[in-house]
Structure 1
Amino acid sequence: MNIPNKITISRILLIPVFIILLSIPFDWGEWDIGNAVLPVSHFVAALLFIFASATDWVDGYYARKYNLVTNLGKFLDPLADKLLVAAALILLVDFGMAPAWVVIVIISREFAITGLRLVAAGEGLVLAAGSMGKLKTASQMIAIAALLLHNFPFSYIGLPFGTIMLYIALFFTVLSGYDYFVKNWHVMRDSK
C-alpha cells in the first residue's frame, strides 16, 4: 500500500476519535468568543477535523506528484471524505447547529454518488471525483469547521459565517451531484 493510501486510511481512523471528542461530555471548560461561547471540546474537535480535512489535500497532492494514483485511492479518498463529513454533520444536527433537512440533502447526495460509483465498479469502471466535487468537499469542510468553532472569529461581529458556508456547501453539493450524474449517466444506462 502506498503512502497516499495510508494517509487516507489514517483519515478514516481519525473519525472515531473525532466522534468521541464531540459525543462524550468532556468538562474542559469553555471560552467566551464575542457573541458565542466555544466549548474547549468543540475547539479540539475542530482542530482534529481541520487536520483530517487537510490530509485530503496532502494525499491527493502526493499521489499526483509522485504518480501514485491507484484505483484503491480513487475509491478510498472520497469515501473518507464522505464518512468524515457525514459524522460531523450528524453531530452538528444533534447539537442544534445545522438544520436536519440540509444534512439529509447532503448525505443523500453522497449515497447517490456512492451508488453510481458501485454500479460503475461492477462494470469495471472507476469514477474519480471531478473539480465540482472538490469544490463541494472544500465548502463542506469550511462550513463544518466554522460551525464547530461557533463562527470564531466572525462571532465577534455577529456574522453567522458557518451557517452561510453551510448553505453555500448545500448549493455546491446539489450542483456537483447533478453534474456528476449528467456526466456519468451512461454508466447507469449501459449497466447490465
Structure 2
Amino acid sequence: MKLWTAPNILTFIRILATIPMFIITYNEKYYLIAFFVYILVSLTDILDGYIARKYNLVSDFGKFMDQIADKILINSLFIVFLDIHKLPGWFVGIIIIRDIFISGLRMFLANKNVVVAADIWGKLKTFTQTILIASLYLTPTFNLLTSLNFILIILTSFFSIYSGYNYLMKNFVYFKGE
C-alpha cells in the first residue's frame, strides 16, 4: 500500500487545516475568511473520494483516515462553537458521543474483517454538519441565519442519532456469540 497518494494527502491537509480553523473560530472578525477556508477544506473530502475512485487509489487506510479527518475537523469546530456559546452543549454531546460510538463499532467490526461503509444517513449527517458550520461562520454577517442554525441543529441531531442507530442495526448480526 502506498501511503502518500493524492487522496491521502488531501485527507492529511484536512486534518492539518483543523489547527488554524480552530484558532480562527475564536475571533468573529475572521469568520468570513474562515467560511471560505472551511468550504475549501470541506471540498477536499469530496475531492479525495473522487480521485481515489477514479484512479483506483481506494485503500482501507484512506477509508479509515477520511472518516477520522472529518471527525477531527468537525468535532473540533463544534467544541469551539460550544466554548464561545454558539452551540448548545447537548448538541455537541450528541455529536461526539455518536462519533465515538460509531468509531468503536467500526473498530470492533474491523477485527471481524467487516468494513462499515458510510451510508446515506451518515452522509446526510456530515452534510448537515458542514452546512451548520458554514452557517455559523456566516451568521455574524447575515443575522437572519440564526433561525436556520436552529433548524440545522435539530436536523443534524436527528441524522446523527438515526445514522448511529442504523449502523448498529445493520451490523447487529456480528454481535451474536459475543
Amino acid at match of 1:42: Y
Residue 110 (structure 1) aligned to one of 81, 92, 99: 99
Distance of 1:135 and 1:41 partners within structure 2 = 28
1:16 aligns with 2:7: no
Quote the residue 1:71 is aligned against. 60
Q: Deviations over 1:39-91 (max 9, x none)?
A: 32222222222221111111111112222211011101111111111011111
CA contact (8 A) 1:21 1:41 kept: yes
> How many pairs does the alignment contain?
175
Secondary structure at the aligned position of 2:171 is classed as helix
Q: Does 1:188 align with 2:171?
A: no
1:126 Cα shift?
2.3
- Give the unaligned 5+ runs of structure 2: none
Q: Distance in 1 between matches of 2:145 and 2:111?
A: 50
Q: Which residue of 2 aligns with 1:169?
A: 156
* 1:57 aligned partner: 46
- Aligned-pair Cα RMSD in Å: 1.8
TM-score, length-normalised on structure 2? Answer: 0.90
**Structure 1: gaps (5+ residues):** 26-38
Hey, which bits of structure 1, 4+ residues long, moved more than 6 A? none
Matches within 5 A, 1:40-189: 40-150=29-139, 152-153=141-142, 155=143, 157=144, 160-189=147-176
CA distance in 1, matches of 2:70, 2:147: 24
| Inter-partner Cα distance in structure 1 for 2:120 and 2:88 | 26
In 1, distance between residues paired with 2:102 and 2:10? Answer: 23
Identity %: 38
